[in-house]
Structure 1
Amino acid sequence: MLKKSEYFVVKQKAVPEVLQKVVEAKRLLESEKAVTVQEATEQAGISRSSFYKYKNDIFPFHDNARGKSITFVIQMNDEPGLLSDVLHVVADYNANILTIHQSIPINGVASLTLTVDILPTTGDSSDMIKEIEGKEGVMYLKILARE
């Protein structure tokens, strides 16, 4: 029998608004733009009860990624330099590439499986993934695992 996962990775657009506002309230508190929970929840536009109900259940992806590895698959055009551009993004964020596997391109599209170690010095892994997704020629990125 398969063990049920306690965590899920979902894109922001799939997360209910109240949970996004809880994350915003937490950011306000951490950045000291709000001193109290009351101030943070008012600025974020949620009730204190919603904040307390969900505050321990939602957090930005990068907050829980440090010290872990992330495996994702990327479908990208078979263009000179595109793989290098993707790897440079990983390097720019100070993440460490553990494994890399690229298939032989079919119809001008290559599949790349990449496992990246998120170090304590790595920048925001969510931003890293967004930057890779935004590269011209990258058609698809999906996170397969986080260990």
Structure 2
Amino acid sequence: MSARRFFLIREDILTDAMLKTLEAKAMLQSGEAKKINEAAQKVGLSRSAFYKYKDGIFPFHAMAKEKIVTLSINLLDKSGTLSDLLAVVADTGANILTINQTIPLQGRAHITLSIDTAPINMQLDELFERMKQLNAVEKVELAGSG
């Protein structure tokens, strides 16, 4: 058997059945639906389609749970910006494992931040959005996870 490969794809590329499977799985996890048949029916999905996709599609935050995530961040070189960024991460409950910062050149610094996402109290995409809301943050990207 060949090794399984994984891909990260945008939501707008997923098929309708895949999106409905994710929605049904969320209903089951939250308790909104008690059985697979009920969840599939509520989202307008056949049970066979649900079973086809259920073990192969997960929200990004679920795949990153209990893993180390490395972020690549570009910051403007202003006093206190790194502190503000780290405060946003700390507010999520995430454990910061490593911080690497380049010497600022042309008014910008590059940060590589590795965090343990196990204790995080929100989805990673929400964390990314909070980081991007900081005035000094120009870019936040996932560099890797493991």
Which AA in structure 2 matches 1:42? Q
Is 1:123 the counterpart of 2:121? The answer is yes
What is the Cα-based RMSD across aligned positions, in Å? 2.3
- Show CA shifts across 1:60-94 (max 9, x none): 22223233211110112222222212111211111
Q: What is the CA distance between 1:103 and its match in structure 2?
A: 1.4
Which AA in structure 1 matches 2:37? Q
TM-score (normalised: structure 2): 0.82
Residue 10 and residue 123 in structure 1: after superposition, are their counterparts in 2 closer, same or farther (change >3 A)?
farther
The share of aligned pairs that are identical, in percent, is 37
Measure, in 1, the Cα distance between the counterparts of 2:23 and 2:48: 15
After the TM superposition, which residues 36-75 of structure 1 pair with which residues of structure 2 at under 5 Å, given as runs? 36-75=35-74
Measure, in 1, the Cα distance between the counterparts of 2:136 and 2:44: 38
Which AA in structure 1 matches 2:88? V
Measure, in 1, the Cα distance between the counterparts of 2:98 and 2:4: 24
Measure, in 1, the Cα distance between the counterparts of 2:41 and 2:80: 48
Unaligned runs of 5+ in 1: none
Measure, in 2, the Cα distance between the counterparts of 1:31 and 1:110: 41
Measure, in 1, the Cα distance between the counterparts of 2:110 and 2:4: 26
Residue 12 and residue 131 in structure 1: after superposition, are their counterparts in 2 closer, same or farther (change >3 A)?
farther
- Show CA shifts across 1:75-130 (max 9, x none): 122222222121112111111111111112233222111111123x3223422233
Residue 35 and residue 71 in structure 1: after superposition, are their counterparts in 2 closer, same or farther (change >3 A)?
same
TM-score (normalised: structure 1): 0.82
Q: What is the CA distance between 1:13 and its match in structure 2?
A: 4.0
Give secondary structure in 2 for the equivalent of 1:34: coil
Unaligned runs of 5+ in 2: none
